[in-house]
Amino acid sequence: MNLFNNFSKYKNNIAVINENNEAINYHSLSLFIEKFIANIKKRHLVFLICKNNLETIVGYLGFIKSNCVTTLIDEKTNDHFLLNIISKYKPHYIFISNKKKILLKGYSTEFIFFNYSLLKRTKEIKKKLHNDLMLLMSTSGTTGSTKFVRQSYVNLSSNTKSISDFLNISELDNAITTLPMSYVYGLSVINTHFENGGSITLNNLSIIQKGFWEKIYINKVTNFAGVPYTYEIIDKLDLTKFNLKFLKYTTQAGGKIPVKIVKNIISKYEKSDIKLIIMYGASEATSRMTYLSWRDVKKKPESIGKEIPGGKIWLENKFKKKINLINENGELIYKGKNVSLGYATNIKDLNKGNVNNSILRTGDIGYRDKDGYYYLVGRKDRFVKINGLRINLSEVEDIISKMNIKSMCLKGDYNKILIYVLEKNKIEILKKNLSKSLNMHPSSFTIQIIKEFPLNMNYKTSYKKLEID
């Protein structure tokens, strides 16, 4: 494997800036990694309980270098669920914070690295691991699923190269962590910067905190990644209060931003010479599938852009026939080396090969304009029938957003659309406008007030949590 093998080339460059703003160069980071892997046998299934800290970085790079199959799990995962997946997958090693360390039967402490412990299974259980398997990533930020995406070295390296080339990432770049490392989007930021000799500023602060923006200035941060929730907050902030002279660009993925917010961000950023780059991806594609450059964001703020270099996107109708017409809705299909091997739902799946054949049926409905740019309409599973009418719940949310109201829509009982909003005083006008826009009776809508919209661990809105509640 050639990934992350060039640390000696950048040995004097800053690799990591820790939470105390202390710089660690690539030479020192390499020494930490060597010390870590001295305690590890190669090619085992491992669990890495992630937080944006030095320990997790060292564990991740050490496991990769040891050719282990690394499973990234967010530290916020509750203990009950963690015990459940440990019991199910039986990892040989678990690297976990001392604070969260669970007294596990059948595991002993092998090595302590600062605030983390490497736990080793006392009785090895033989597992067949496919030769191509490298990473197991969660499909979402929820804690209720034991399904993982199986990623290979080819998946990881091809996506890392594509992102690096598009964003022109170099040893001069410094990214601050804003997303969990266990989230494929957050991990891609780390991968691309380490591959090119750049720096990672470790951070666990929210962007709403003054300390976050101070870190950006103190550590000369050049970029960060965000999901729609990130930009909803930025939209409300006065960026002129912060010194952003080193910040060159931010990237967005993880869902659709209302076009009004995109335009607001563009206006804010232009005052500070910062660029917004929009991306579209999925865990099943190791991260990104399309890019929309800063120049194109200003021209086509509703678009997700065009396919990444080396990738191919097309649209298919419900009969799986290719759509060649412009502005016609269909499911987005993607082909590329970054498409994952498939899913793992149990320990036997770890020996499966590539079942996807580099093709991903995204489940997203979209269309293509005359210039070849793609647009998202909604999820395939978010189209519902209400009184015989086929309704796109994402479209309902877009209609509501144009009224300056944020909402989350679900299919409710008795042929109704269940709408969650934060604002109590706009219920009647909301029903009236929806009734007119969708040609539906006002009784078709049930509107409920909610204190805040639920988010998953990746800071994306969680419809699943609403359904459960």
**Residues 347-385: tens digit of each pLDDT:** 999 999 999 999 999 999 999 999 999 999 988 988 888
Q: Are residue 318 and residue 400 in the same domain, yes or no? A: no
402: confidence class by pLDDT, cuts 50, 70, 90: confident
pLDDT at 140: 60
Q: Is 324 exposed, middle or buried (0-12, 13-18, 19+ CB in 10 A)?
A: exposed
Residues of the domain holding 415: 387-468
Share of the chain above pLDDT 90, in %: 78
Q: Are residue 215 and residue 344 in the same domain, yes or no? A: yes
Q: Are residue 281 and residue 255 in the same domain, yes or no? A: yes
User: Per-residue pLDDT for 141 more than 90?
Assistant: no
User: Per-residue pLDDT for 145 more than 80?
Assistant: no
Asked if 445 and 439 touch (Cβ cutoff 8 Å), the reply is no
Residue 168 CA to residue 162 CA, distance in Å, equals 10
User: Per-residue pLDDT for 464 more than 90?
Assistant: no
Start-end of H helices in 47-121: 54-65, 79-89
User: Per-residue pLDDT for 1 more than 70?
Assistant: no
Taking only the tens place, the pLDDT of each residue in 114-139 is 999 999 999 989 899 999 999 999 88
1 assigned to some structural domain: no
Residue 267 backbone phi and psi in degrees, to 5: -60, -45
- When pLDDT is averaged across residues 159-188 and rounded to a whole number, the result is 96
Q: Are residue 251 and residue 308 in the same domain, yes or no? A: yes
pLDDT at 356: 97
User: Per-residue pLDDT for 41 more than 60?
Assistant: yes
pTM of the model: 0.90
User: Per-residue pLDDT for 161 more than 90?
Assistant: yes
Q: Are residue 391 and residue 419 in the same domain, yes or no? A: yes
Top pLDDT among 80 and 235 is at: 235
- The CATH number of the domain holding residue 407 is 3.30.300.30
379 assigned to some structural domain: no
Start-end of H helices in 341-410: 393-401
23 assigned to some structural domain: yes
382 assigned to some structural domain: no
279: confidence class by pLDDT, cuts 50, 70, 90: very high
458: confidence class by pLDDT, cuts 50, 70, 90: confident
- When pLDDT is averaged across residues 174-199 and rounded to a whole number, the result is 97
Strand order in the sheet with 14-17: 23-25, 14-17, 199-201, 174-176, 223-226, 249-252, 275-282, 287-292, 306-307
- The CATH number of the domain holding residue 119 is 3.40.50.12780
Asked if 330 and 317 touch (Cβ cutoff 8 Å), the reply is yes
Residue 75 CA to residue 97 CA, distance in Å, equals 8
Residue 268 burial (CB count, 10 A): 17
Q: Are residue 123 and residue 34 in the same domain, yes or no? A: yes
pLDDT at 92: 97
Q: Are residue 452 and residue 349 in the same domain, yes or no? A: no
381 assigned to some structural domain: no
Start-end of H helices in 99-175: 153-167
Least confident range from 109-123, 140-154, 201-215, 422-436: namely: 140-154
Q: Are residue 329 and residue 438 in the same domain, yes or no? A: no
How far is CA 379 from each of CA 60, 124, 128, 364, rounded to the nearest angstrom? 33, 43, 35, 5
Residues 6+ positions from 387 with CB-CB distance below 8 Å: 415, 440, 444
Structural domain ending residue among the three candidates 307, 339, 374 = 374
pLDDT at 467: 78
Average pLDDT, the chain: 93
User: Per-residue pLDDT for 142 more than 50?
Assistant: no
Residue 418 CA to residue 468 CA, distance in Å, equals 14
- When pLDDT is averaged across residues 199-207 and rounded to a whole number, the result is 96
Top pLDDT among 242 and 464 is at: 242
Residue 381 CA to residue 365 CA, distance in Å, equals 9
448 assigned to some structural domain: yes
Asked if 344 and 317 touch (Cβ cutoff 8 Å), the reply is no
Q: How far apart, in Å, do the first and last CA atoms of the chain sit?
A: 45
Nearest in space to 114 (alpha carbons), one of 92, 98, 93: 98
Top pLDDT among 333 and 382 is at: 333
380 assigned to some structural domain: no
Q: Are residue 392 and residue 323 in the same domain, yes or no? A: no
Structural domain ending residue among the three candidates 311, 344, 374 = 374
Asked if 315 and 289 touch (Cβ cutoff 8 Å), the reply is no
> Token pair for residue 89?
């997958």
Tokens 């200003």 belong to which residue?
A: 298
Tokens 């989230």 belong to which residue?
A: 183
Nearest in space to 184 (alpha carbons), one of 208, 163, 206: 163
> How many structural domains are present in the chain?
2
Q: Are residue 39 and residue 185 in the same domain, yes or no? A: yes
User: Per-residue pLDDT for 55 more than 90?
Assistant: yes
Q: Are residue 270 and residue 189 in the same domain, yes or no? A: yes
2 assigned to some structural domain: no
User: Per-residue pLDDT for 10 more than 90?
Assistant: yes
Structural domain ending residue among the three candidates 348, 374, 400 = 374
Q: Is 248 exposed, middle or buried (0-12, 13-18, 19+ CB in 10 A)?
A: middle
pLDDT at 468: 65
pLDDT at 469: 63
- When pLDDT is averaged across residues 224-249 and rounded to a whole number, the result is 96
Asked if 461 and 255 touch (Cβ cutoff 8 Å), the reply is yes
H or E element, residue 168: none
Q: Are residue 357 and residue 226 in the same domain, yes or no? A: yes
